[in-house]
Structure 1
Amino acid sequence: MFSDEEFERYLKELDDPDLSEFEFFTESTGVKIYRRYNKTSGLYDYKTMGGIDVPAETCFAVYTDLQYRKTWDSYVKELYEFKENDRNGVYWRVAFPFPLSNRDYVFVRETREYDRNGKHIYVCLGRSAEFPSKKEKSGVVRVNDFLQSMIITSDGNGTKAFMHYYDNPRGMIPTWVINWAAKSGIPGFLDKMVIACKSYDNYLASKKR
């Protein structure tokens, strides 16, 4: 799905992010967000970096646990993994505010772990992909231009994280609305994720009962 070179490129961004084409966008609770303008779509892709006050292994487990995501992310309508023709995929349907239609994503995702310079590093890469069984649904807009990477390691106490994100939600949404929503949406997601991390042990314990 992803080449060794792609993983290596993102590994480097954790300590030395490439911001040569990016501008500073906003900062929230110690996390800085940079953006780069896409002339074709009129949208931006984002690079986010900073510290999260939870252990790295917990942060990575929560980020990749799709079943748990459905309990803490109110925007998730459907989210599950599937396998087709020896490829693993993810289906994700997201609630958009009225009167906008829901969006859905079909993508591949791969995780790897590395030990570099005395650090244990977690990497998760995802991007849009086509699967014959996942046809577009009536009333739901398919997002077919999407990528998300997350690189996580310990900073000694909590988590040092880097994320690269882009999606084009399509449809009749003014680009300024999409770009405005990103300013609150990305920090908002990170805030919810921190809360979810702190509740993860209780969630795992409840599943064993």
Structure 2
Amino acid sequence: MWSASLSCVTFPLFIPFPQQSGLYEYKIFGGLAEIPPKLCADVYMDLDFRKKWDQYVKELYEETHDGEKVIYWEVKYPFPLSNRDYVYIRECREMDVDGRKIWVVLAKSVAVPQCPEKPGIIRVKSYKQSLVIESDGKAGCKVYMYYFDNPGGMIPSWLVNWAAKSGVPAFLTDIQKACLNYSKST
């Protein structure tokens, strides 16, 4: 069961009540006025630019392993929690569906021997994300995002609640600002 938990920017955030695992999934629907869909997709895919606007990025890079592009991403967590890192693959496709341009980004965690776990950092082994971006018919874009990860470790429920109520809206506000500043920095 999904419930509308809060709204931010122009996005309602839907968080299902946790099942047996106690882990949360997020679905976000909404729009970014004045942000064209291609710009939103470009900002989302630009790892170097993300290092400039996302304050939680400690390390972020892409490497090729066995012919596949793999992303390593270390995320700063607040004290006293350990940072988390992700090793994942992602793909972005621009599609034409009934005359509408749609950008689809899919990402999921992978195990790559060339990216071993680091001491003191907890590896997020279960991560998946789907992002769909299309024009809103005006100057902006409509966005749908599904997100799940298992951050591992022993995270207290108050912190999970903080992330849902503070972290996700802050990220959406940050990416909107990043889109507005993207052409200035590239």
**What do residues 147-171 of structure 1 show as CA deviations (whole Å, max 9, x unaligned)?**
1111101112201000000111111
Aligned to 2:123: 142
Contact in 2 for aligned 1:49/1:163 (Cα 8 Å): yes
1:190 aligns with 2:169: no
Contact 1:43 1:175 in 2 (8 A): no
Amino acid at match of 2:184: N
Which of 111, 114, 126 does residue 92 from structure 2 map onto?
111
Q: Match for residue 126 of structure 1?
A: 107
Question: Which has a greater percent of strand?
Answer: 2
Give distance in 1, aligned partners of 2:41 and 2:82.
30
CA distance in 2, matches of 1:175, 1:48: 21
Q: Is the 8 A contact 2:93 2:103 kept in 1?
A: yes
* Correspondence for 2:144: 162
Equivalent residue for 1:202?
Answer: 184
The aligned amino acid for 1:106 is V
User: What does residue 34 of structure 1 align with?
Assistant: 14
User: Partners of 2:56 and 2:162 in 1: how far apart?
Assistant: 18
Q: Is the 8 A contact 2:9 2:172 kept in 1?
A: no
Query: Counterparts of 1:188 and 1:102 in 2: how far apart (Å)?
Result: 19
Gaps of 5+ in 1: 1-20, 205-209
* Higher-helix-fraction structure: 1
Following TM superposition, by how much is the alpha carbon of 1:180 offset from its aligned partner in structure 2, in angstroms?
3.0
Give the deviation of 1:37 after TM superposition.
3.3
Quick one: distance in 2 between partners of 1:97 and 1:171?
14
Q: What TM-score comes out, normalization by structure 2 length? A: 0.94
Give runs of ≥4 in structure 1 deviating > 4 Å: none
SS class of match (1:166) = strand
1:94 aligns with 2:113: no
Secondary structure, aligned partner of 1:199: helix
